[in-house]
Structure 1
Amino acid sequence: MTQSQKSALIVGASRGLGLGLVETFLARGWRVTATQRTPSPQLGRLSAEALRIETADIDDDAGVAALHDRLAGQRFDLIFVVAGVATQAHDPLHAVPRSVAAQVFLTNAVSPIRFAEAFLDRLAPGGSLALMSSVLGSVSLNDSGGWETYRASKAALNTLARSFEIRHRAENLSVLILHPGWVRTEMGGAEADIDVATSVTGLADVITDRLGRPGAHYLDYTGKTLPW
Structure 2
Amino acid sequence: MTARTALIVGASRSLGLGLATEYARRGWDVIGTVRGDRRTGLHDLAEASGGRVTVESLDMTKPEQVATLRERLAGHTLDLLFVNAAITRGNIPVGDVPTEMFVEVVVTNALSPMRVIESLRPLVAPTGTIGVMSSRQGSLSLNTNGGQDVYRASKSALNQLMRSYAARYADAAHTLLLICPGHVRTELGGPEAPLTIDQSIPGAVETINRHSGEPGLKFLNYQDQPVPW
Return the TM-score normalized by structure 1: 0.96
Match of 2:44 in 1: 45
Match of 1:16 in 2: 14
Partners of 1:85 and 1:40 in 2: CA distance? 20
Partners of 1:87 and 1:72 in 2: CA distance? 35
| Structure 2 contact 126–172 (Cα < 8 Å) conserved | no
Structure 2 counterpart SS, 1:169: coil
Residue 43 of structure 1 and its aligned partner are, at CA, apart by 1.5
Structure 1 counterpart SS, 2:54: strand
Residue 40 of structure 1 and its aligned partner are, at CA, apart by 3.5
User: Which residues of structure 1 form unaligned runs of 5+?
Assistant: none
The 5 A counterparts of 1:132-143 are 132-143=133-144
Partners of 1:17 and 1:167 in 2: CA distance? 29
Partners of 2:139 and 2:164 in 1: CA distance? 16
Partners of 2:174 and 2:159 in 1: CA distance? 16
The 5 A counterparts of 1:34-183 are 34-38=32-36, 39-46=38-45, 47-48=48-49, 49-88=51-90, 90-183=91-184
**Would you identify which runs of 4 or more consecutive aligned residues in structure 1 move more than 3 Å?**
none
Partners of 1:73 and 1:42 in 2: CA distance? 26
Partners of 1:108 and 1:212 in 2: CA distance? 26
Structure 2 counterpart SS, 1:10: strand
Residue 136 of structure 1 and its aligned partner are, at CA, apart by 0.3
Partners of 1:212 and 1:8 in 2: CA distance? 15
Structure 1 counterpart SS, 2:218: strand
Residue 156 of structure 1 and its aligned partner are, at CA, apart by 0.4
CA deviations 1:110-140 (Å, max 9, x no partner) are 1111110000101012211000100000001
Partners of 1:201 and 1:69 in 2: CA distance? 31
Quote the sequence identity (%).
41
Residue 193 of structure 1 and its aligned partner are, at CA, apart by 1.1
User: Which residues of structure 2 form unaligned runs of 5+?
Assistant: none
Match of 1:209 in 2: 210
Partners of 1:75 and 1:225 in 2: CA distance? 29
Amino acid at match of 1:76: L
Residue 172 of structure 1 and its aligned partner are, at CA, apart by 2.3
Partners of 2:211 and 2:25 in 1: CA distance? 19
Match of 1:7 in 2: 5
Partners of 1:75 and 1:115 in 2: CA distance? 15
| Structure 1 contact 165–173 (Cα < 8 Å) conserved | no
**Worse-matched range after superposition: 7-16 or 36-45:** 36-45
CA deviations 1:51-109 (Å, max 9, x no partner) are 11000011000000001011111011110000111122x11111211001111001101
Amino acid at match of 1:87: R
Match of 2:31 in 1: 33
Partners of 2:55 and 2:102 in 1: CA distance? 30
Residue 31 of structure 1 and its aligned partner are, at CA, apart by 0.3
| Structure 1 contact 7–77 (Cα < 8 Å) conserved | yes
Residue 41 of structure 1 and its aligned partner are, at CA, apart by 2.5
Amino acid at match of 2:43: G
Alignment RMSD, CA only? 0.9
